[in-house]
C-alpha cells in the first residue's frame, strides 16, 4: 500500500500553549525533551525561561482528573451546546464531561477534597487515612486516577 504515514513531531517542533506566554517549548536540557508524544495534552512545569524562545523545564505530563482535582482555582460546570463542560482557570482550561452526572460528581469530589485539605490545615494532627470521611475521599480519588 502507499500513502503518508503520520510522523511524530521532532523534539524542537513540539510546542504547548500557556495562558500568559502563548507557545512554549520543552527545554533541551529537560528529561522530556526527546519525548515526542504525550498521552495527555497537559503538562505541569516547575520553571519557565526565555532565551531564543520561551522554554519550560522540569515538566511532567498530567492527565485530566488530576488536573481537575488538584489544579488551582475554582471548578465550574456549564451546559454549552448540549455538552456539560467542566472548566478551570476562569474557563481557559475546559473539558467535556461524558454526562451531567459525571460533571457533577467530579465537581463535588473536588469540593470535598478542598474541604478535607482545609480541615487538615486547621488541624494538622488529623490523620486523613483514619477518619472515615478522609479515607473515603482519598480512596475514591486514588481509584479514579488509577483507572481512568
Q: Give the C-alpha distances (Å, rounded to integers) separating 48 from 11, 28, 82.
A: 17, 13, 37
Residue-level pLDDT at 47 = 92
Same domain (yes/no): 119, 72: yes
If asked whether residues 53 and 72 sit together in one domain, one would say: no
Domain that holds residue 82: 65-146
C-alpha cell at 124: 494538622
Number of domains, the chain = 2
Establish if 1 belongs to a structural domain: no
Cell numbers placing 29: 536540557
Q: What is the mean pLDDT of each run of 10 residues along the chain (148 residues)?
A: 67 84 92 87 91 92 90 85 88 88 91 94 93 93 88
- How many other C-beta atoms lie within 10 A of the C-beta of residue 55? 20
One domain for residues 124 and 74: yes
The radius of gyration of the chain from alpha carbons, rounded to an integer in Å, stands at 19
Q: At what angle do helices 132-147 and 100-122 cross, to 10 degrees?
A: 130
Amino acid at each position: 500500500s502507499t500513502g503518508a504515514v503520520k510522523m511524530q513531531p521532532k523534539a524542537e517542533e513540539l510546542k504547548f500553549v500557556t495562558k500568559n506566554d502563548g507557545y512554549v517549548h520543552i527545554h533541551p536540557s529537560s528529561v522530556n525533551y526527546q519525548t515526542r508524544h504525550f498521552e495527555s495534552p497537559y503538562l505541569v512545569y516547575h520553571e519557565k525561561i526565555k532565551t531564543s524562545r520561551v522554554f519550560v523545564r522540569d515538566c511532567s505530563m498530567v492527565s485530566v482528573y488530576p488536573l481537575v482535582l488538584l489544579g488551582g482555582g475554582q471548578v465550574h460546570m456549564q451546559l454549552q451546546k448540549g455538552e456539560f463542560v467542566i472548566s478551570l482557570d476562569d474557563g481557559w482550561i475546559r473539558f467535556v464531561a461524558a454526562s451531567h452526572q459525571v460533571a457533577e460528581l467530579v465537581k463535588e469530589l473536588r469540593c470535598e477534597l478542598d474541604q478535607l485539605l482545609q480541615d487538615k490545615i486547621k488541624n494538622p494532627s488529623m490523620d486523613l487515612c483514619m477518619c472515615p470521611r478522609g479515607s473515603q475521599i482519598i480512596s475514591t480519588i486514588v481509584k479514579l486516577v488509577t483507572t481512568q
